[in-house]
Structure 1
Amino acid sequence: MVVFTLSQSQERIPTGCVGLDKLLHGGFRRGEMTILYGEAATGKTTTVIQAATLAAKLGLKVIYVDSDHSFTQQRFQQIAKTGAHDASELIMLFLPETFAEQRALVETLENYVTPTLGVVIVDSMSSLYRAAFSKSASVFNLNRDLSRQLAYLGELSARSKVACIITSQVHARLSPPLGDIEPVARRAVFHFSRTILKLRNTPKPHVKDFLLERFDGSDVRSSCLVALTEGGLEDAES
């Protein structure tokens, strides 16, 4: 992981991976929402933990909503290395158990905003929604609640100039191209996300393809290869 200074990333939060930062023109932009989506083991959680760690090392506060309960102390220490203790002091970790708890938390995040807040992460936006979906008789209410959460996060990031990064699980598309994947609740998450990254597996298990589908509100299509290592994201050898 490459280390940066705050002066190099005032508008964007670097990922610590040179190739990915180049793809994102410096990192995750403050003041807008970015979504990462992809199948399991494509690096979504590692990416957001690394972004949170680097932001904290730059002296920025991080709100991390771990709806998947996938943020582990071991993984954090592997990525943060010697700076783990100091970085952990600036990361506020929340662990909602239900979609209703996630909704209540998202709607009160304003209470935690300070001038030093740099990043808000939700990993993942869709897991508790998906669990509630399987039990609920009112799909309309669930979709409305998810859209409200996304709208609130988008407004919070724009108003407070923080980078909001969300992840999403995926399912198979029911429309062409058949066999491809898309985020759960695609229409809602795409509507509110200014930047969209699709993470894909490659023939090499530790190498992931990060495909940029939307950047700062404009449709694009460019990608980079990233190595998923014990220490986090690194540039993949060509």
Structure 2
Amino acid sequence: MGALKHLTEAYSTIDASFIQFLASHAIFSVEDFLVHDVHMLLASAEQLPNSDKLKQGINQLLSIIETHHQPWINGLVLLEDRVQNKHYISTGCNSFDVLLQGGLCEGYVTELVGPSSSGKTQICFQVASNVAMKSGGVVFLDSGNSFSPTRIKQIITRVSGSVENQVNAIVQQAMRNIECHAVFDIYALIDVLHQLKSKLESQVGYEVRLIIIDSVSSLVAPILGGNSAQGHALMVSVGYLLKKLADRHSIAVVVTNHMVSGEGGTLKPALGESWKNIPHVRLQFSRDHTTNIYCVYILKHPYMAYGGSANFVIP
């Protein structure tokens, strides 16, 4: 959405005095507003003579962000784009790739949902290793100290099947292709994503084929308590930014999400109905702990039927 001053013509509450008030708090864009503490902003507005109008402006801006949508696109354009420009990234797991008719689709956000120890992080390691071995750039955003270079090395060693000195060279090259960033809150995530967007747009030769966020739910869930409009707006902003990165730069984006108890105690993906509409693809994972066999089940896919499944083993 960009600079806030462009909204003044369309919304009476977002006028010059409101823009000046935001500027006094170093807020010049929608992104600046989203990462600012709205409660502090409201408290600051309360101290001014025109507090009611300023608070109306803040609420108006939250409403605009929440209802912001991409423009409509002709269906033929979407079909041509799908056929001509979208490619697949192999997960490195044959049964998984067969289920998805080739693997993870570039330009799409794929969500992996499931309870603890259901294989989500292990699949992230698997696909990261597979992409990095083929000289593709990988950005791994780690929210819970889950990234394991040792595990990545194990996977690469097993897959490469080369003699020891060749394996070491392959491992080193693959590790160079993986950027890992620790992100422990939603603000750090937004900051890293904006840095990544800037690098992709400005640095010649900088290419990324895969972005992994493990896990997005641990970053988003803490800001959704109560009826926080700001939390919801931040979540939507992250989703929109991920989709834009995926589409504009042909990147496969993978995010993991945990599960919570729903009606009758049945498990359902966390983050609610609003987040449900953000990923293009939603895959549910489960694990049979007696046989150590994992199962992936299609919950949502833009061009595949709901309910398809496959079993796989993670060595």
Q: TM-score range by the shorter chain?
A: 0.7 to 0.9
Match of residue 229 from structure 2 = 140
Q: Choose from 69, 75, 99 the match for 1:23.
A: 99
Match of residue 211 from structure 1 = 297
- For residues 298 and 283 of structure 2, what CA distance do their matches in structure 1 show? 5
Q: Superposed, which structure 2 residues align to 1:1-238 within 5 Å?
A: 11-81=87-157, 82=167, 83-113=170-200, 116-133=207-224, 139-174=228-263, 178-202=264-288, 204=290, 206-216=292-302, 219-229=305-315
Work out whether residues 64 and 92 of structure 1, in 8 Å CA contact, stay in contact via their aligned partners in 2.
yes
Work out whether residues 119 and 162 of structure 1, in 8 Å CA contact, stay in contact via their aligned partners in 2.
yes
- For residues 197 and 226 of structure 1, what CA distance do their matches in structure 2 show? 14
Residue segments in structure 2 that go unaligned for 5+ positions in a row: 1-85, 158-166
Moved more, 117-126 or 136-145: 136-145
Q: Which amino acid aligns with 1:104?
A: D
Identity %: 21
Aligned residues: 215
Match of residue 161 from structure 2 = none
Q: Match of 1:64, SS?
A: strand
CA offset digits 1:47-67 (Å, max 9, x no partner): 111111111111111111111
Moved more, 145-154 or 181-190: 181-190
CA shift for structure 1 position 119: 0.8
Work out whether residues 119 and 287 of structure 2, in 8 Å CA contact, stay in contact via their aligned partners in 1.
no
CA shift for structure 1 position 137: 6.6
Moved more, 23-32 or 56-65: 56-65
Work out whether residues 36 and 167 of structure 1, in 8 Å CA contact, stay in contact via their aligned partners in 2.
yes
CA offset digits 1:52-98 (Å, max 9, x no partner): 11111111111111112201121111112233211011111110122
Q: Match of 1:192, SS?
A: coil
- For residues 40 and 64 of structure 1, what CA distance do their matches in structure 2 show? 19
Residue segments in structure 1 that go unaligned for 5+ positions in a row: 1-9, 230-238
CA offset digits 1:148-207 (Å, max 9, x no partner): 101110111011111011111111113xxx332222213233212111100012253511
* Runs of 4+, deviation exceeding 4 Å: none
205 and 144 in structure 1: CA distance in 2 versus 1, 3 angstrom threshold: farther
Structure with the larger RCO, 1 or 2 (CA within 8 Å, 6+ apart): 1
CA shift for structure 1 position 117: 1.6
Report the TM-score, using the length of structure 2 for normalisation: 0.64
Greater share of helix: 2
- For residues 186 and 122 of structure 1, what CA distance do their matches in structure 2 show? 18
